[in-house]
Amino acid sequence: QTAAESVPEGEGPGSIAEGGGAAAPERDGPALVGLSHMVGAADRTVRPGIVHRLDKGTSGVMVVAKSDAAHFHLARQFAERVSQRTYLALLWGVPGLRQGKVTANIGRDPNDRLRMAVVPDDKGKHAVTTYRVLEVLDGGHASLVQFKLQTGRTHQIRVHAAHLGHPVVGDDAYEGGVAPRTRGGAPVPAHQQ
Q: What is the pLDDT of residue 80?
A: 80
Give the DSSP letter of residue 179.
Answer: S
Q: What is the pLDDT of residue 190?
A: 57
3-class state of residue 157 by DSSP: helix
Q: What is the mean pLDDT of each run of 10 residues along the chain (193 residues)?
A: 52 47 49 54 59 75 81 84 84 96 97 94 96 96 95 93 94 75 48 56
Q: What is the pLDDT of residue 74?
A: 86
Residue 68 annotated as catalytic: no
Q: State the catalytic residue, choosing from 28, 43, 55, 138.
A: 55
Output phi, psi for 22, to 5 deg. Answer: -95, 140
β-partners of residue 130 are 101, 148
Q: What is the pLDDT of residue 188?
A: 52
99-103 vs 128-137, strand pairing mode? antiparallel
Question: How many angstroms separate the CA atoms of 101 and 124, rounded?
Answer: 18
- Indicate the pTM of the whole model: 0.69
Task: Tally the C-alpha atoms within 13 A of residue 90's C-alpha that lie toward its C-beta.
Answer: 14
Farthest CA pair distance, the chain: 55
Q: What is the pLDDT of residue 75?
A: 84
Judge whether 71 and 49 are in contact, CB under 8 Å: yes
- The domains found in the chain, sorted by start residue, are 5-79 (no CATH), 86-192 (3.30.2350.10)
Output phi, psi for 18, to 5 deg. Answer: -95, 135
Q: What is the pLDDT of residue 59?
A: 76
For residue 76, the surrounding DSSP H or E stretch is helix 68-79
Q: What is the pLDDT of residue 3?
A: 47
Q: What is the pLDDT of residue 9?
A: 57
Q: What is the pLDDT of residue 4?
A: 53
Task: Give rounded-to-5 percent helix, strand, coil for the chain.
Answer: 15, 30, 50
Question: How many angstroms separate the CA atoms of 78 and 61, rounded?
Answer: 14
Give residue-wise pLDDT tens across range 97-119: 999 999 999 999 999 999 999 99
Q: Beta-carbon neighbour count of residue 101 at 10 Å?
A: 12
Q: Sign of the C-alpha dihedral, residues 131, 105, 142, 139?
A: negative
Q: What is the pLDDT of residue 54?
A: 76
